[in-house]
Each structure stands twice: as C-alpha cells, then as structure tokens.
C-alpha cells in the first residue's frame, strides 16, 4: 500500500512538472508573428510572474518598431496634433508623453490607456492610437503598463503603448550659459524589470541628475530623447538660439540610438513659454525644428498630458 502511494505521489509530481514546463514554454510563444519579440520576452522573463503571457504584451510597441515609426513621421506633425479637424478625422494618432498617478498625473495607467482605446474605437478606422507612459523619475508607470495589459488580456486591441520614463537632469557643460539648466529626458521602450537598469538608477554613487550620464546610460535601455526643448530656454533672450543648438548637438553626440526631440509639442501655449517669447514664439519653435533636422535629430510630438484627456496638457 505504501509503495502504491509513493507511485501515485511520484506520478502526480511528474504530471505537475510536465504541466508547469509546458505552460512556461507556451506563455513565451506568441500565437502569430510579433514585432520586437525579444524585447517583450525579456520583459516577461524579468517580471518573474509565472501567470504573465507574451500574447498579452502584443499592444506594446518595442524599440525596432518605434524607431521605424519615429523616422517615418519626422515630417508629419499632423499625427501629433490634436486639432479639432485631426481628432474628428482620426488623423491625430500619437501622444508620446503622458503622466499618471504614478507621478503627477490625474488618471491611473489603466484610465490613460482606456481613454486612448475609446478615442481609437470612435475615430480611427484603420490602425491604432499610440501612447507612451512616461512618469517622472520612476519605473512604476512602465510596470503598470505591463500589469494592466496582463490583467486585461485582449482589451486594448486599438492602441499601441510604450513603457517609458521622464527623468529630470541638469545640463552642466554649456559654454553659452554659465549655470546648470534643467533638461527633461524621455526614454521609451524600457524594460522596467531590468535589474541592471534599476541598479544604475538606484546607485547613490551614480550622477543620476547629470544630463550626459542619463543620455549615455538610458540609451542602453531604450530610445532616449529631449522633452519640450523650448521650455528650458525661453528666458535666455538672444542666447537661447546658440544654447539650443549647443544642447542638441551635445545630445546627438551622446545617444546611441534613434535620436529625437519633441518638435511638435502642443502644451507650450499652456505654459509661460509662449507668453515669454511673445511674437518670437513661432520663430523660435521653427528654429528648434530646423536645428534638429540639420543635426539629424527626428521630431516627435506630444501633449505632455497630465489630466484625464489625451488631447491636452490638463
């Protein structure tokens, strides 16, 4: 009797091990071809969550796919511009800078994704709405992108979402302005569970607020670029033109992936930037875009959404 019990226990253990192995293999294999598969498999592996599946990560846009998108839309401000015409016609297709309750935004990650999904369902016939979650100085927003997709499998069929982060830095190497200037750096397509990334950002010996260090470091973990460049320089009067050229040149020399800056940025009018620049506003924005183009830096766009709407800053 004891021998039979041992056989039964052994048989059950073998079945459980087989089932667990089969499940672990299955959850890493997509049902159909998937872009940036290795990136998504790394997220799945590093999450250490055995219930997560690769198929749930299908709405994520990875670095190779995003790089192609950025380059293809460098001269296409309409997709980044939420004008009434563009919203009604479903032309507005991308807001690559959004905040949630994981930093200083009002909606949760799920609420932000829901609003993008609703807009896509209502207005976009073919294709998708692309959003990036870029909470300030935290990987939590990016983690919650993964959790939201895993907890709502199949729900987000009309959006693509980018796990990201926005980091405050200081640009200390200017020959134009003799003081540090705060520059916000965006990084898209991060793996928020990556242990090396977490170790670098949490190491007290690393200069995590230094512009050069952040660009060089974050370029190893995603696509890194400059957020709302005009915001930092509007107070500089005539120096702002050579300063922005210097800063963008410095950035381009440091990044190791697809370079970008927010050239089509919609919330300047909601800040003091347009107020400070007055009649010079359009001239300066055009200069930034021209300087970016001449430097081989792609232009992207966003609303830097902090409120519930994906169409505006508030």
Residue-range definition of the domain harbouring residue 107: 60-302
209 falls within a domain = yes
> Confidence class of residue 274 from pLDDT cuts 50, 70 and 90?
low
Residue 74 domain-assigned?
A: yes
pLDDT computed for residue 24 by the predictor: 75
pLDDT in tens, 38-55: 999 999 999 999 999 999
In-domain check, residue 283: yes
Give the total number of structural domains in the chain: 1
**For range 283-294, the mean pLDDT:** 93
pLDDT of residue 272: 59
Question: What are the angstrom distances between the C-alpha of 121 and each of 59, 116, 124, 207?
Answer: 15, 9, 6, 44
> Residue 69 carries which DSSP code?
H
Q: Any idea what the CATH number is for the domain that residue 245 is in?
A: 3.20.20.140
CB within 8 A of 171, min separation 6: which ones? 180, 181, 182, 183, 211, 247, 250
Question: Does any domain span residue 9?
Answer: no
Between residues 178 and 10, the one the model is more confident about? 178
pLDDT tens-digit readout, 171-189: 998 999 989 999 999 999 9
Mean pLDDT of all residues in the chain? 92
On whether the CB atoms of residues 227 and 186 are closer than 8 A, the answer is: yes
Q: Does some domain include residue 33?
A: no
Domain annotation covers residue 80: yes
In a domain, 211, yes or no: yes
Q: pLDDT value at position 270? A: 47
Contacts of 115 (CB under 8 A, 6+ apart): 107, 308, 309, 310
Give a yes or no: residue 86 inside a domain.
Answer: yes
Dump pLDDT digits (tens) for 61-71.
999 999 999 99
* pLDDT at 234 (0 to 100): 77
């Amino acid at each position: 009797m004891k021998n039979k019990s041992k056989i039964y226990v052994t048989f059950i253990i073998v079945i459980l091990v087989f089932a667990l192995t089969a499940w672990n293999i299955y959850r890493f294999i997509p049902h159909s071809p998937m872009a940036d598969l290795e990136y998504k498999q790394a997220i799945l592996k590093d999450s250490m969550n055995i219930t997560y599946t690769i198929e749930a990560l299908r709405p994520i846009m990875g670095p190779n796919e995003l790089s192609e998108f950025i380059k293809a839309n460098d001269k296409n401000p309409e997709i980044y511009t939420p004008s009434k015409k563009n919203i009604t016609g479903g032309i507005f297709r991308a807001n690559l800078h959004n905040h949630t309750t994981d930093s200083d935004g009002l909606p949760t990650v799920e609420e932000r994704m829901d609003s993008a999904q609703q807009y896509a369902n209502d207005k976009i016939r073919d294709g998708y709405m692309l959003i990036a979650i870029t909470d300030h100085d935290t990987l939590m927003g990016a983690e919650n992108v993964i959790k939201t997709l895993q907890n709502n499998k199949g729900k987000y069929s009309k959006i693509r979402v980018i796990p990201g982060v926005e980091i405050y830095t200081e640009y200390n190497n200017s020959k134009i302005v003799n003081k540090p200037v705060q520059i916000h750096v965006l990084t898209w397509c991060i793996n928020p569970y990556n242990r090396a990334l977490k170790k670098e950002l949490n190491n007290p010996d690393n200069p995590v607020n230094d512009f050069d260090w952040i660009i060089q470091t974050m370029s190893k973990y995603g696509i890194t670029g400059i957020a709302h460049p005009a915001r930092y320089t509007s107070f500089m009067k005539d120096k702002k033109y050579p300063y922005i050229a210097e800063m963008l040149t410095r950035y381009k020399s440091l990044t190791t992936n697809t370079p970008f800056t927010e050239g089509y940025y919609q919330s300047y009018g909601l800040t003091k930037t347009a107020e400070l620049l007055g009649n010079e506003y359009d001239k300066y924005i055009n200069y930034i875009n021209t300087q970016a183009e001449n430097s081989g830096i792609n232009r992207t766009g966003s609303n830097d959404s902090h409120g519930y709407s994906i169409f505006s800053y508030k």
